[in-house]
Amino acid sequence: QVQLVESGGGLVQAGGSLRLSCAASGRTFSSYAMGWFRQAPGKEREFVAGIWSGGTTAYADSVKGRFAISRDNAKNTLYLQMNSLKPEDTAVYYCAAANTYYASRYSSGYAYWGQGTQVTVSS
């Protein structure tokens, strides 16, 4: 059973930084793609960033240049470094794990999800 547990969310002022973590367990972490999604109140869940098993990364245009996704396979942990945060980044952030090496931009490409962590950016 794959389990994903996010941490690192919180309240930050605009222009600040946060680093989210996602601890994974239940299978060989390094073999599969991982992703971060977010959902703001009243909006659909959207892709933020993805990382293939081999390390290739992809980002939503809205976060490119500000956010960085990374993985530490030795620690079975996924990260999302968020810099230059904006109020529109406010959302619940979810970690997701795929059943393949490829990091899809669509939520249907992921089989496992964490419980989410709240990120609030004040103006």
- pLDDT tens-digit profile, the chain (123 residues): 899 999 999 999 999 999 999 999 999 899 999 999 999 999 999 999 999 999 999 999 999 999 999 999 999 999 999 999 999 999 999 999 999 999 999 999 999 999 999 999 999
pLDDT value for 70: 98
Contact between residue 18 and residue 10 where contact means Cβ atoms under 8 Å apart: yes
Handedness of CA 55, 61, 64, 69 (dihedral sign): negative
pLDDT value for 34: 98
Separation CA 113–CA 99 (nearest Å): 12
pLDDT value for 53: 96
β-strand 117-122 against 10-13: which pairing, if any?
parallel
